[in-house]
């Protein structure tokens, strides 16, 4: 069965705006539905988390996860947008996907995202930095 169809049949009501490209499916998902969608991708479909990309946009802070369905080579990319740039918060997927621990820690220190439920909330890259790095490193709008 086509993996995109399998996913959309089960999760279409949980996702918002989607972009369907050759071998890729980008879609928006609310923070409330994130765990259910990730659970389906990782545990039901056997997808592997490649990584996640955190980006500062005009509209807010965006976190885009990249799940690879290796048997078909298709990428599923759930996107979560946090409009409150000064206090971005979202659910962590590390309790479901252990491989997300490092990238969520990195996004936390780069973009200031508070990942709720992350088992180890400490910086990944700047833990041993002697400087006082108390603000997100890559957010331009928060001085």
Partner 1 sequence: MTKNNIPLGPFHPLLEEAEYFNLVVDGETVVDIDMDIGWMHRGHEFISEQKTFTQSIYLVERICGICSTSHPIACVHAMEDVDNIEIPLRARYIRTLIGELERIHSHLLWLGLAGHFIGYDTVWMWAWKYREPVLQMFEIISGNRNHYGMMRVGGVAKDVDSEKIPGLLKILDMVDEKMQMIAKVAKDDPVLRSRLKGVGVLSKQDAIDYCAVGPTARASGVHTDVRKDEPNDAYDLVDFDEIVLENGDVYDKLVLRVLEIFESTKICRQCLEKLKTAKGPILNNVKEISPGEGLGRYEAPRGEVFHFIKTDGSNRPMRHKVRAPSYVNIPTFTASCKGIPLADALITLASVDPCYCCTERSLKVIDPSHKLDNIDLLQISRDKTEHIRREINAD
Question: What does each C-alpha distance from 108 to 20, 55, 84, 89, 138 come to in angstroms?
Answer: 29, 12, 15, 10, 10
| Of 4, 10, 36, 124, the one binding partner 1 by CB under 8 A | 124
Contact 65, 78 (CB under 8 A): yes
| Of 24, 89, 121, 135, the one binding partner 1 by CB under 8 A | 24
Q: Which stretch binds partner 1 (CB under 8 A): 3-11, 31-39, 85-93, 119-127?
A: 119-127
- Choice between 102 and 121, CB closer to partner 1: 102
Question: How far apart (Å, rounded) are the C-alpha atoms in residues 135 and 40?
Answer: 34
- Choice between 36 and 62, CB closer to partner 1: 62
23 binds partner 1 (CB under 8 A): yes
First to last CA, the chain: 50
Contact 39, 10 (CB under 8 A): no
Q: Which stretch binds partner 1 (CB under 8 A): 6-14, 28-36, 81-89, 93-101?
A: 93-101
Minimal distance, residue 84 CB to partner 1, in Å: 20
């Amino acid at each position: 069965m086509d993996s995109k169809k399998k996913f959309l049949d089960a999760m279409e009501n949980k996702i918002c705006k989607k972009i369907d490209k050759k071998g890729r499916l980008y879609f928006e998902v609310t923070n409330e539905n994130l765990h259910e969608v990730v659970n389906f991708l990782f545990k039901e479909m056997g997808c592997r988390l490649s990584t996640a990309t955190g980006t500062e946009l005009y509209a807010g802070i965006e976190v885009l996860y990249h799940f690879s369905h290796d048997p078909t080579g298709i990428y599923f990319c759930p996107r979560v947008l946090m409009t409150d740039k000064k206090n971005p918060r979202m659910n962590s997927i590390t309790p479901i996907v252990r491989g997300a621990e490092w990238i969520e820690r990195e996004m936390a220190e780069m973009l200031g995202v508070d990942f709720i439920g992350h088992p180890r909330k400490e910086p990944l890259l700047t833990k041993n930095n002697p400087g006082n790095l108390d603000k997100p490193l890559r957010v331009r709008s928060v001085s």
